[in-house]
Amino acid sequence: MSLLDDAYALIFGADRSIGTFAPDITIREGHRDVMAVTTHPVEGGTPISDHAFLLPKQCEMIVGCSDSSAGSAGASREAYDEVLAIMRKREPVDVYTGKRPYQNMIPVDIAVTTDEKTEHALFATIRLQEVIIVHTRATTPTGAQASPQTTGSVQDRGTVTPQPTSSVSFDERGGVPTPIPLGIGTAPGRGAFGLGGATA
C-alpha cells in the first residue's frame, strides 16, 4: 500500500517545519529519546546520575509537497532542493513537530521515492539528529586563590624525614662545578655558593 492510499493519515494545517522548510502535509512523525547507562558495576551510594547520560535526540518526519498545492509546476522539485540545501549546510536548525519542538537539529537521512503517482509531488522521509552544544569559558582566580602558593592553607604532611643536601663550588683551576656536602670542608672567604665560604 502506498503512502497516497493512506489519505486518512495526512495532517493538514499544522505548524510543522524543518528550519526554513514548511511541508504542505505531514504523514507521520516519530520521536526517539535514549538514555545510555553504564554496564559496569556501580558502587553502592554512588549517584547513579554520574553513570547515565542522554544521547542526542532523534526525530523522523514523513512529509509531502505538491505542484498543485503551490500552484506552479516544479514546486515539489524546489521543495526537495530546499531540504537538501539544509542538509548540505550542516548547520543546526529548529524543528517543530506536532508533539514537541527541537533545537540544534541536523538532517542526517533524507529518503525520497518517485513513481507514477508522485511525479509532480514530493514525499520525503527525513530523519534528524540533535547536535549537543556546550559552552566553556576561562576564569581568572581572584581573592584567596589568586596566589595559592602564599594563600593556600597549611597542609599536614605527617612525619617528614630530612634529606641530606649538597652545595656546589667551582674548581679554581678549570671552573668545573664540584659538589660538596653542606657544612663540610668549608672555610670563610673562599666564595662557596650559599655558605659564604669556599672549599678547603
pLDDT digits (tens, 9 = 90+) for 3-18: 444 444 455 546 899 9
Which domains does the chain possess?
3-39+49-130 (2.40.30), 165-200 (no CATH)
Over the chain, what is the mean pLDDT?
Answer: 80
Angle at the Cα of 150 from the Cα atoms of 145 and 151, rounded to 5 degrees: 40
| Tens-place pLDDT, residues 112-157 | 999 988 899 999 999 999 999 988 888 776 666 666 666 666 677 7
Q: Give the SS3 label for residue 197.
A: strand
10 Å CB burial of residue 195 (0-12, 13-18, 19+) is middle
pTM: 0.62
Query: How far is the CA of 197 from the CAs of 33, 79, 165, 170, 177, in angstroms?
Result: 77, 91, 17, 12, 15
pLDDT value of residue 182: 55
